Amino acid sequence: MIFNRHAEPAAACRLVGAVLIAGMLMVAGMGGCAPQARIVPSGPPADFQPHSSEFRGLAADVARASSRRTLDIGFAADGRPLAVEVFGSGPWTVLVLGGIHGDETRSVEVARFLSDHLAVNSEAVAGKTVAVLVNANPTGAANRTRTNARGVDLNRNFPASNWRPGTAGRRDSPGPAPASEPETQSILRAIELLRPACIISLHTASREGACNNFDGPAEGLARLMAAQNGYPVLVNIGHPTPGSLGSWAGIDRGIAVLTLELPENRPAAECWQRNRGALLDVISADVPAPEAVVRPLQGGRSLTDRVPDPL
């Protein structure tokens, strides 16, 4: 189209406007020259296997791993709430317990260090679920006593095949019956809900007594810890432990149970630094869930069917 430079200015403006409008309409009718949005197929990449059916995709898994969730599992004998802090969404679960003996303060402090570390280091729980019960005996911790509010040693109160009656008033009193204590019942409930492949129970001992003790199929994991913390690997700690968590979960149920005995006379930060690598190595180890944990008891009962309801 040729414009007459001598045409009236108003007419020229009208002509240019018409040309521009026509061009815009033509572009709109043809779909335009701008790139069109592309619909990306949903679902994870073909080479990525999500950790669970509940959380699909890498972004969701990383977000889940980096968050701290709380699972209420019961109450202590005096009514204090008990809850585990859960990280990750993998198919294999590691359960960490601190403070079963209330006077073993370092075990609670190291459990707290671990929980705080996992909260800000999502890569530490990649492919796993990690649950931490920081303080399994809050009343004992508050009173600096080994036992709970009813004077029962919780690590002699599990319904193991080797449980036996004892004398009330002793610091190792097993209670009036197996799993008589609300704290024990709460831990059993957590094990049924989480179905851990491995349990790490934190305790303290004299400096010379620090060790990696194990029950059930956990010798390899104990040696993995020893490579990091330098403590000896012990199949027993030199005296009977009837009704202990290791006896019930490790020997009777076939769960890999590690009892990490920390030196009681060393600062908490030092205990954490020395055992940080040991704990993280066990968490990252490939340990499948033992069949004994998943399979219900005979007659279709579950793990907690042997446990009375909390008082």
Which residues are tagged catalytic? 261
Cα 178 to chain centroid, rounded: 26
In this structure, how many other beta carbons lie within 10 angstroms of the beta carbon of residue 12?
14
- 285 — phi, psi (to 5°)? -70, 150
At CA 299, angle to CA 298 and CA 303, rounded to 5? 60
In this structure, how many other beta carbons lie within 10 angstroms of the beta carbon of residue 63?
13
Distance CA 185, CA 202 (A): 18
CB 233, CB 210: distance < 8 Å: no
Q: Which residue's structure tokens are 């990449």?
A: 45
Distance CA 140, CA 51 (A): 37
E-assigned strands of 116-271?
128-133, 198-205, 211-215, 233-234, 256-263
Distance CA 58, CA 51 (A): 9
Q: Which of 216, 221, 215, 145 is nearest to 183 (CA)?
A: 145
Q: Which of 186, 204, 174 is nearest to 101 (CA)?
A: 204
Residues with Cβ within 8 Å of 37's Cβ and at least 6 positions away in sequence, in order, are none
- Compute the chain's Rg from CA coordinates: 30
